[in-house]
Amino acid sequence: MLFSKASGLNDSVYGKSLYPIRKWMEERNEFWEARSKLADIFGMDDIDTWCAKYGGMTSLGDMEPVGEGAAYPRGSMQEGYSKVLEPYEWKLSSELTQAMVEDNLLLSKGKLHGGNMVKSYHRIREKFGAAIFNNITATTFDLGGRTWDNTCWDGGAIAATSHTSKVTGSALANSDNYDTVVFSYDNLCAAEEKMQKFTDEDGNLVGIQPDTIIIPNNAPIKKLVMDSVLTESGRPGTTDHSTNIHAGRWNVVIWDMLSKGTATNDPWYLVDSEYAKEMGLFFLDRTPLQVKQYVDENTDNLISKARARFIAGCADWRCLYASVPA
């Protein structure tokens, strides 16, 4: 969070209140950063260029057995899919009047305005990240009066019943990362197996190991998930006392920005967090939150302006599985 102010501002009637307001804004920034779910889900990248490109190569192939002293077989590979993310510019301003100084309200109102400005910045970031999930089967979503791209690097929706191979140009086997089933112990088992069968463009297993369950802040699904992954022994809700294979294996992220269903048909997502942060889900910060303060010569009001540049998106669809019940 970066502050700047016009020269001579400390000599104005606002001078004595600027530092407490600034300190309050910094504290609120830390407060909201600590509560953000973005870093639990996305790879958080600070970049110093106008865009970032995420991509990979196709498989090199397997090593081959050769006779003693034989030449090395030469494998081949090509550039795979790629995804370009370009940070967008976000702005907001607020105004405090000189009358507030006269009524001894500047500090209290200044904190309120400053805190709300910081909250607005973090709220739109959470909304943007969550919109990717809330529209996981769509190729675009609308936010802030704009339409945003929501495709993965093969040009289709992030969650789909099939994805295209860069090598063959046709549907890739075992590339179904979308379903409409409700969360349950058995469906969690099936979804995990499905993700573990994801392959690269040449049909080789990628080695996906999902470790995170992402759910909305809704009581029914929270109970279902916690019963399924925290019970040490016994199948939850049954008389089956066999070992619970999910006990202690999952991180659970409860994100209040996610769309809710009704009763037990909430959407839920599985993510391989390590793969997601390396190849899949990215949140890019080009310019951190910048706050500029100055006095408007026409009104004598204190103007605060906030500016940032960021973007989020998905490259490799293999990092996640989504189930969105109807």
Q: pLDDT of the chain along its 326 residues, tens only?
A: 777 765 555 556 677 777 777 787 888 888 889 999 999 999 999 999 989 998 876 666 677 788 788 888 776 666 778 899 999 999 998 888 878 777 766 666 667 677 788 899 999 999 999 999 999 999 999 999 999 999 999 999 999 999 998 888 889 999 999 999 999 999 999 999 999 999 988 888 999 999 999 999 999 999 999 988 887 665 656 656 567 777 778 999 999 999 998 767 899 999 999 999 999 999 999 999 998 888 888 888 888 889 999 999 999 999 999 999 98
CB 41 within 8 A of CB 281: yes
Instruction: Please tell me the predicted confidence (pLDDT) of residue 177.
Output: 97
- Residue 99's CB is within 10 A of a number of other CB atoms, namely 11
Task: Answer for the pair 287, 309: CB distance below 8 angstroms, yes or no.
Answer: yes
Q: What is the pLDDT of residue 29?
A: 87
Please spell the DSSP secondary structure of 201-258, one letter per residue: TTS-B------EEEEES-HHHHHHHHHHHH-SBS-TTSS--SB-TTTT--EEEEETTS
pTM of the model: 0.86
Measure the CA–CA gap between 307 and 69, rounded to whole angstroms.
64
Q: Which of 263, 266, 235, 228 is nearest to 249 (CA)?
A: 228
pLDDT for res 64: 77
Of 222, 264, 1, 15, whose CA–CA distance to 121 is shortest? 1
Query: In the prediction, which pLDDT does 99 show?
Result: 82
Q: How far apart are CA 295 and CA 114, in angstroms?
A: 15
